[in-house]
Structure 1
Amino acid sequence: MLKETVISHAVRIVCAGGVAAALSVASQSAIAQDAQGADAQIQRVEVTGSSIKRIAAEGALPVTILTAEAIRTSGATSVTDLVKKLSSAQGATTESSSVGGSTFGFSGISVHNVGETRTLVLLNGKRLAQFGGQTLTGFAAGFDLNSIPISAIQRVELLTDGASALYGADAIAGVVNFITKHDTTEGDVSIGYSAPKNGAREKRISATKGFGNLEDDGYNVVLTFGHDERDKLGSVDRSFASTGKVQFSANGKRYQKQQFSASPIPANATDDQGQLISPYQKTNGSCPDKTFRVIEPYNDGSGLVDDYCGYDFVKDLEIYPERKRDNFMASGTFKIAGQEVYADVLLSRTKQTSRIAPVPGAIAVDAGTALHNKYLLPIGITGDSTAFYRLFDMGQRTSKDTADFASVVVGTRGVAAGWDYNASYNFSESRVKGSISGYPGAIAVNNLTSSGLLDPFVGPGKQSTAAQEAIKAATFSGYWDGGTSRLQTINLNASTEVRRLPGGAMMLGVGANINREEFSAKPSPFAQGILADPVKGTLCGGTTGLECDQRFGDAASSQPYSASRTSKGVFGELIAPVLKELELGAALRFDEFSDFGGATTAKASFKWTPAPTLLIRGSVGNGFHAPTVPQVNALQRGYGVTSDKYTCTPALQAIATRLNAQCQPGNRQYDQLAGGNRDLQPEKSKQATIGFRYEPISAITLGADLWHVQIRDSFGQLTEQLVFANPANFPKSWGVNKDVGTGTTYLAFLADNQNLGKSFATGVDIDISGRYRSGIGLFTSQLNATRMLREDVQLERNGKYYSALGNFADLGTVTFRTRGQWTNTLKTGNWANSLTVNFLSGYKDQETTVDVLDASGAVTGQEKIRMEVGFYSTLDWQTVWTPSKSWVFTAGVLNLTDKSPPFVPSTSGANRGQQFGYDDRYYDPRGRTGYLNASYKF
């Protein structure tokens, strides 16, 4: 057995980092114990980032460890909330992205904003199946954190350095290992309640119980169950998110930003010049309810102006969706013939419901028809027209998503012939089903119009009784789309002591694995576009002779497909303490994939302790990230619409003419197409870290790790902003899409998967902790922060570099220069009170066109501005009362001062919901949130 020194143990515990001062409390306790008994024997353990069982403090890689106490002190009530509090994590998909987006409720984690698809998530050191709702572009091709119950977690280990040489693909940015409760006989029942104002209230309950002592009884079984549910939060319940029309001041001027849809109720229509107008406004002199007037000049120099009524869809949003989660986990370990046989089973189900404004779409209104003669001819429209309408009487569009996850691991571990070994088989599966309501077929709506029943030029509730019945009969409600992702893995890892060196034992680790990945896309017949009547399920085409219908408003047809691949990997790792003060490490791995060949990765590391109070460490290595099965194999399909609106410039018109298509009328979003690419090659990376840990006195610990990641052949799609700005430069980025409702073929943007250029990211992770014992108790202070120093990304091969570092411009996202938490805790007797400061640096918002207002509030023109979004911070308070060993009561308030998110006028961005007035990807709209938790241990 190896011994752990006082400083190494202190370094491991104190400097591992954390999100709460509870970690600092545990740290000081550990230091005090070591000071009294430094010769205590320490068991070898396996630490994330190494295959070798050894003392945790001996590692040379930056690993942040969150204990169960630190998780509790953070105030997080779920794993998704927990990762938001990590200073080194940013850029991941959040639950609110499902508001108007097809995310199926996915929530991931991204280390250093390098990407959630490049951050490997493990459960007890084992890989997990990727999300079954991932898209063909690679979005959500990670693990859904909703599947892990926070009540089952014993600790979290976060490696903020690439680890492909050990784990293979997907570990470019880092590794997050969730370690669940094992080998305990304790029981725990917890209940909790969180209460923001006017919505998003949450109730939760969990229970854990262990049976059997592994040493005495030869077995141990731990069972955990968790349930939580949250209600909706409407946009109208938050002043900063309640409308799409906002007036604000900046740059010494008064501005107005209007976020709207060109499809209101009553409908807008095109006139004989193709301009968009509002028949209601032309007739009545004002816009109808839930709309405001929009005057937009064309930017093509034609002098034409759209003058219509924009629909304020923001008022209809539920900005935080309803959610229910159930998780069950069983872990069993049995001693048989001196070895351990173990099994872990995880089952989870997440149900999420999100609602947005009623469906919009286009309806053809031909000259001479009753609608044309009644509404359009009197205002001077003599030719055919298109009405842009919202089927308000059909109700809100609703998405009900269910994500089921199952994981089963069986294995054996122990010591044989001098080797610590672990052999296992694990099976995991993610199954996602998305159901919708409030959507009709485009042909069904056109038939309603041509029959004379539907009148798009009347207000809400003004349709005839027969029309109301027909609208109800045309409403589709049921399964829409989904998928299944499956992973099977056989693993064998082993480590042993090779020889003795001056600094200790040289350790060798080896391993091999075989992976089988499968993915199936399962769109419904309606999503495939193979139904003539989506409500009745009547098939189209073939011998039926019936025309195929598609979803009204955003027609897109998907094709079902299944694909799979097999990969094999072998690796070796060597740790050599060449001197008492110096340890060197090296790892080498080779992987072979059935669909694109092999990849070799390597890593070298060192740890140097020049003084008992100082540790210096570093590493260098390379990695790779394999494309997902859908990114390679998916068929081309409609893929929603562009995030921004565009007018038809001469260059865009030339592309449309070449493809025998039409531009979208006025200033509108364009259809988007996407598909897989069988020529896609893996991303390749290089990583390096250098860091130190310093403890000048026992009460203060300082640490910092400088890291660098560079990636080439990155996966991605040419951005719409780049392509629309120079249409002729990207002739392969265009296609066409037919609107089955109007029969018009429109120009479409093709965002296919490509290997693009390079990217570079550099930053430093900092942690500082202090401890002071006074007459009133133990005071601890912990600061964790990440400072980003560089981020440069190419949007096309050999193209110019762009950066999102404090800059929302070309990449559709923001990388915050600084983010972190500072937690201060005073522990007195059986009371502990904590105050945490959460902070984010500011950034420059995306360029946005806004209206300029005069002193009276009248619009005098338009201007493009870039807002400076300021530094943002919130305070969290928590009180923990432990009256006995059995009871723990926790009360706290998140965002104590009820600080609103900063205003941002921009509206586009990657993985962004439909919310307006703030950026839902970075700021929590719940506001001040009080919570209570009670736990009984037995």
Structure 2
Amino acid sequence: MARALTIAFGTAALSAVVVPSAMAQQQPAADAPIQRVEITGSSIKRIAAEGALPVTVVNAAAIKASGVTSAADLVKRLVATQGGMGESGAVGGGSFGFSGISIHNVGETRTLVLLNGKRLALFGGQNLTGFAAGFDLNSIPLSAIERVEMLTDGASALYGADAIAGVVNFITKRNSTEGDVTIGFSNPADGAQEKRLSASKGFGSLDEDGFNVMMTFGHDERTKLKSGDRDFAKTGKVKFSANGKQYQKQQFSASPIPANATDDLGQLINPYQKKNGSCPTQTFRVTEPYNDGTGLVDDYCGYDFVGDLEIFPERKRDSFMSSLTAKLGSQEVFADVLLSRTSQVSRIAPVPGSISIDAGTPLHDKYLLPLGITQDSLAYYRLYDMGKRTSSDKADFVSIVGGIRGEVMGWDYNAAYNFSESKVKGSISGYPGARAVRALTGSGLLDPFVGPGQQSAAALEAIKGAAYSGYFDGGESKLQSLSVNGSRALAQLQGGSMMLGVGASVSRENFSSKPSLFSQGKLADPVKGTLCGGALLCDKRFGDAADALPYEAGRTSKGVFGELIMPVLKTLELGAALRLDDFSDFDSATTAKASFRWTPVPTVMVRGSVGNGFHAPTVPQVNALLQGYGVTSEKYKCTPELQAVATANNAICQSGNRQYDKLAGGNPELKAEKSKQATFGLRFEPMAALSMGADLWHVQIRDTFGQLTEDVVFANPAKYADSWGSKVDVGTGKNYLAFLADNKNLGNAYYTGVDIDITGRLKTGFGQLTSQLNVTHMLRERSQLLKDGEYYSAVGNFADLGTVTFRTQGRLVTTLKTGNWTNTLGLNFKSGYKDQATSVEVLDASGVVTGTEKIRMEVGYFSTWDWQTLWTPSKSWSISAGALNLFDRDPPFVPSTSGGNRGQQFGYDDRYYDSRGRTLYANASYKF
């Protein structure tokens, strides 16, 4: 922060030397009509100017200068946003490719996304824990965006009380006859290359022809990026230095090829390693204590699945948007239609799982009996010959808005019907049924103790025939609403007209979970689609005991609101808003906001607000049925404490260091979150060449809902006795202990920070120089994991909350415009943090493991530079070229692996750092 502030203040100081101190803002001509516009965060149309609430506006020119190619990448550049889900989280994360936005890391579900001021359906792939219960930014075509307005103060009276973190409003092009065709290409090294094409054209003049139609089409494609093409991500075995010592971290799976197996003491061994003296290809030797206090040691081979990952998925997107505006007498009718489709493919390592090897069977006698194993055993195996597990996700989004607006009897009004729908379909390949694999083993065809490609021809054919390929899971989310709002002047006060805004709305929200029969565990033969029942036993996905359950649920909400803007003096404006909401499945809510704007002198403005909010849990969080929900992200040992919990649940622990099944479901007893928000801001413009401001903000929430993180629960199993259950493994028939990640009201949360912006302008002999700095600095963040429990903080700290909130992050952009050339240099920076406590191996000077140690890495300050050159040789043509991450900085190394919304990548945290590296790009646009 200090580095960036020094640069920015230097630019501002230089501007102050050259430019006269008199305010040079242009005033409109005396006979020019005053245009009133709707500003995000208010229902009242007014003259566009700085208001009482902090609104950041990013226009089309700034979007183009940023070099970003999608709405998802754009919002990541807004320094007030952090903690949103990114596309790379789909790599083993089951996110269906969702990309979300979270203001100030308060949460995606508490950040309201609008399109032209209208609500949008939540993501159809949202799950029952509330994950991805936001709007998918992939549905917004960047080529159609005129500007983005971000309100960093929540609980807007116009849009609904659930906007606790704030509002992001995407405003599209309209009322233009201009045409534009743009092509572009982005080229990171070795993968994730993008090609894109967009076209837009407007027809008709609203003033001359009485109508305007604006249409925009966009298409882009991106290739995959493999982990092996990045040195920092290519393996799960990494040696590193920290705290003056040498360490080694091994991220692996206990299911390799050839398989590991349990011996008569329950220890994990590898028959191949016992016979040959070394572990097979793409594995490494793992030795670790068995149950603490027993003295037993697991000695087996861990599979390096990290080398199989595609760390950035391939993607295709298509979008079409059309906006119609037509005059109907003195009124306007309007209609907006958005259609978009995002297709994404992510691949991870071949499927792992466990297979029962009974004593006396040919496999047992051939491989295990010679090693002294006389009892039944479990083989932990990776079905490598079936190929990588592939998720092919398709998300379709539709938004249709129609209405009428205008002025009647002094009222500016807007009445509209809004329909939007998000459909998500997730298909898979590379997965068999657990019973199908068990049948393969029992038939003698499948041999889990041989290497890749060494099965018999008949076995390879049987493996191919057992592979399921097709639809697996998905969902649909719909939103329908009718709304009407209006505003007018009531009286003339000393500072101007007192304005009133009122409105009402009724909405219906529906969500349908649509798992396939295979996902539900209702098929005896997933490949053939044979239903189970009677003698035909049900099968589930090999290595994953999750069994989704279909359900449908919805809610109706009604709301009315009123808002007053009162310029009581020429220097003082007061505002007040009140909203009443009624939910069909929750209590009614009353929310309010008060605000002020004071300009004691023309160069200074002071503003502030205080309000409250109400956020009901999502429909799935309340109504979903208890079901299997995948596996833990981290592996855990069966300690004596964990064994005691397993015994209490009539279950058994996993052998060795293993992942555990998860259970989750809705909770009808959840209470709504209730919040209080406040902002206090100061803007100072001592001269036309210098503008600066700071907004202090605070959010506090009670009865927050979420789930206990797995690392917290596993660290103290007895303390969280109600966070456990059990799950029967279809492949082995054993009832294992399972982690219950159910929805809870966790307690209170507090967030406080300051948003800073400084802009300096300078006319030089080389052209117009502009430098802008935006910084968000977190002062406090504290959350409870249990009601009345202790508080934890994620500010600069990856520990108990499963996430990191960066203390400081910002962006400094300097632009030099010379004739028809514009050059832009950008600096992106964020402070460091303390990584999660992670168990690593200690190495001596010769690289030999001498023991294990739990460490917390210090992750340092991180910054990247961007560059762009824009050439506009004529009014019709513009060509830009540049580089993102100009100096090709790798993400900082982190040994931790768990954390919410995190993919399977290792060696860096994909939630906070981009694996694509330096990205060269070029765009060409032709306007007509």
> Aligned partners of 1:42, 1:92: CA distance in 2, in Å?
39
Code of the residue aligned with 1:836 in structure 2: it is: G
> Aligned partners of 2:347, 2:628: CA distance in 1, in Å?
22
> Aligned partners of 1:611, 1:742: CA distance in 2, in Å?
77
- Following superposition, the deviation at residue 229 of structure 1 comes to 0.3
Code of the residue aligned with 1:637 in structure 2: it is: Q
Confirm or deny: 8 A CA contact 1:87 1:820 kept in the other structure. Answer: yes
Aligned to 1:545: 535
> Aligned partners of 2:491, 2:764: CA distance in 1, in Å?
48
Q: Deviations over 1:421-446 (max 9, x none)?
A: 00000100000000000000000000
Q: Which one of the candidate residues 81, 86, 90 is aligned to 1:94? A: 86
Aligned to 1:624: 614
> Aligned partners of 2:863, 2:32: CA distance in 1, in Å?
43
SS at match of 1:77: coil
Code of the residue aligned with 1:52 in structure 2: it is: I
Confirm or deny: 8 A CA contact 2:24 2:687 kept in the other structure. Answer: no
Taking a change above 3 Å as real, the CA distance of residues 239 and 39 of structure 1, as seen in their structure-2 partners, is farther
Aligned to 2:800: 810
> Aligned partners of 1:667, 1:504: CA distance in 2, in Å?
71
Note if 1:124 corresponds to 2:116.
yes
Q: Which moved more, 1:74-83 or 1:160-169?
A: 160-169
Confirm or deny: 8 A CA contact 2:42 2:156 kept in the other structure. Answer: no
- Following superposition, the deviation at residue 32 of structure 1 comes to 5.3
Note if 1:934 corresponds to 2:924.
yes
Note if 1:71 corresponds to 2:63.
yes
Aligned to 2:209: 217
Confirm or deny: 8 A CA contact 1:442 1:551 kept in the other structure. Answer: yes
Q: Which moved more, 1:157-166 or 1:903-912?
A: 157-166
> Aligned partners of 2:477, 2:715: CA distance in 1, in Å?
37
SS at match of 2:180: strand
Aligned residue runs from structure 1 range 538-577, under 5 A: 538-541=530-533, 544-577=534-567
SS at match of 1:372: helix
> Aligned partners of 2:32, 2:849: CA distance in 1, in Å?
76
Aligned residue runs from structure 1 range 651-730, under 5 A: 651-730=641-720
Confirm or deny: 8 A CA contact 1:532 1:547 kept in the other structure. Answer: yes
- Following superposition, the deviation at residue 380 of structure 1 comes to 1.2
Q: Which one of the candidate residues 49, 52, 77 is aligned to 1:60? A: 52
Q: Which runs of 5 or more residues in structure 1 are unaligned?
A: 1-16
Aligned to 1:360: 352
Q: Which moved more, 1:725-734 or 1:637-646?
A: 725-734
SS at match of 2:89: helix
- Let me know the Cα RMSD of the aligned residues: 1.6
Q: Which one of the candidate residues 491, 499, 505 is aligned to 1:499? A: 491
> Aligned partners of 1:612, 1:33: CA distance in 2, in Å?
11
Aligned to 2:3: none
Q: Which moved more, 1:657-666 or 1:133-142?
A: 657-666
Q: Deviations over 1:274-294 (max 9, x none)?
A: 111111111100000000001
Code of the residue aligned with 2:796 in structure 1: it is: G
Q: Which moved more, 1:679-688 or 1:118-127?
A: 679-688
- Following superposition, the deviation at residue 197 of structure 1 comes to 0.3
> Aligned partners of 2:394, 2:544: CA distance in 1, in Å?
22
Aligned to 2:782: 792
Q: Which one of the candidate residues 879, 884, 889 is aligned to 1:894? A: 884
Code of the residue aligned with 1:86 in structure 2: it is: L
> Aligned partners of 1:611, 1:732: CA distance in 2, in Å?
60
Q: Deviations over 1:275-323 (max 9, x none)?
A: 1111111110000000000111136211111110000000000000000
Q: Deviations over 1:587-615 (max 9, x none)?
A: 00010000012111000000000001000
SS at match of 1:141: coil
Code of the residue aligned with 1:373 in structure 2: it is: D
SS at match of 2:273: helix
Aligned residue runs from structure 1 range 432-451, under 5 A: 432-451=424-443
- Following superposition, the deviation at residue 91 of structure 1 comes to 0.1
> Aligned partners of 1:291, 1:410: CA distance in 2, in Å?
59
Aligned to 2:342: 350
Code of the residue aligned with 1:914 in structure 2: it is: Q
Confirm or deny: 8 A CA contact 1:166 1:588 kept in the other structure. Answer: no
- Following superposition, the deviation at residue 655 of structure 1 comes to 2.1
- Following superposition, the deviation at residue 850 of structure 1 comes to 0.5
- Following superposition, the deviation at residue 527 of structure 1 comes to 0.2
TM-score, with structure 1 as normaliser? 0.96
SS at match of 2:463: helix
SS at match of 2:612: strand
Q: Which moved more, 1:50-59 or 1:596-605?
A: 50-59
Note if 1:463 corresponds to 2:417.
no
Q: Deviations over 1:396-445 (max 9, x none)?
A: 00000000000000000000011000000010000000000000000000
Q: Which runs of 5 or more residues in structure 2 are unaligned?
A: 1-7
Q: Which one of the candidate residues 874, 890, 910 is aligned to 2:864? A: 874
SS at match of 1:241: coil
Q: Which one of the candidate residues 504, 515, 519 is aligned to 1:512? A: 504
Code of the residue aligned with 2:711 in structure 1: it is: Q
Note if 1:255 corresponds to 2:251.
no
Q: Which one of the candidate residues 275, 284, 298 is aligned to 1:306? A: 298
Aligned to 2:4: none
Aligned to 1:906: 896
Aligned to 1:105: 97
SS at match of 1:280: helix
Confirm or deny: 8 A CA contact 2:249 2:895 kept in the other structure. Answer: yes
> Aligned partners of 1:547, 1:682: CA distance in 2, in Å?
42
> Aligned partners of 1:300, 1:493: CA distance in 2, in Å?
66
Confirm or deny: 8 A CA contact 1:244 1:314 kept in the other structure. Answer: yes
Code of the residue aligned with 1:574 in structure 2: it is: L
Aligned to 2:327: 335
> Aligned partners of 1:857, 1:75: CA distance in 2, in Å?
44
Code of the residue aligned with 1:535 in structure 2: it is: V
Aligned to 1:593: 583
> Aligned partners of 2:33, 2:651: CA distance in 1, in Å?
76
Q: Which one of the candidate residues 399, 402, 405 is aligned to 1:407? A: 399
> Aligned partners of 1:97, 1:937: CA distance in 2, in Å?
37
- Following superposition, the deviation at residue 643 of structure 1 comes to 1.9
> Aligned partners of 1:102, 1:928: CA distance in 2, in Å?
27
Note if 1:849 corresponds to 2:861.
no
> Aligned partners of 1:748, 1:192: CA distance in 2, in Å?
48
SS at match of 1:727: coil
Code of the residue aligned with 1:562 in structure 2: it is: E
Q: Which one of the candidate residues 352, 357, 367 is aligned to 1:375? A: 367
SS at match of 1:807: coil
> Aligned partners of 2:201, 2:420: CA distance in 1, in Å?
24
Q: Which one of the candidate residues 124, 135, 139 is aligned to 1:143? A: 135
> Aligned partners of 1:35, 1:760: CA distance in 2, in Å?
42
- Following superposition, the deviation at residue 36 of structure 1 comes to 8.2
SS at match of 2:568: coil
Code of the residue aligned with 1:500 in structure 2: it is: Q
Confirm or deny: 8 A CA contact 1:164 1:622 kept in the other structure. Answer: no
SS at match of 2:232: helix
Aligned to 1:14: none
Identity across the alignment (%) = 74
Aligned to 1:484: 476
> Aligned partners of 2:363, 2:497: CA distance in 1, in Å?
87
Q: Which one of the candidate residues 898, 920, 936 is aligned to 2:910? A: 920
Aligned to 1:13: none
Aligned to 1:648: 638
Q: Which moved more, 1:531-540 or 1:166-175?
A: 166-175
Aligned to 2:382: 390
Code of the residue aligned with 2:677 in structure 1: it is: Q
Note if 1:860 corresponds to 2:840.
no
SS at match of 2:747: coil
> Aligned partners of 1:373, 1:778: CA distance in 2, in Å?
82
Note if 1:321 corresponds to 2:310.
no
> Aligned partners of 2:33, 2:59: CA distance in 1, in Å?
21
> Aligned partners of 1:667, 1:914: CA distance in 2, in Å?
17
Q: Which one of the candidate residues 259, 284, 288 is aligned to 1:292? A: 284
Confirm or deny: 8 A CA contact 1:438 1:477 kept in the other structure. Answer: yes
Aligned to 2:731: 741
Confirm or deny: 8 A CA contact 2:161 2:591 kept in the other structure. Answer: no
> Aligned partners of 2:841, 2:23: CA distance in 1, in Å?
61
Q: Which one of the candidate residues 516, 519, 527 is aligned to 1:524? A: 516
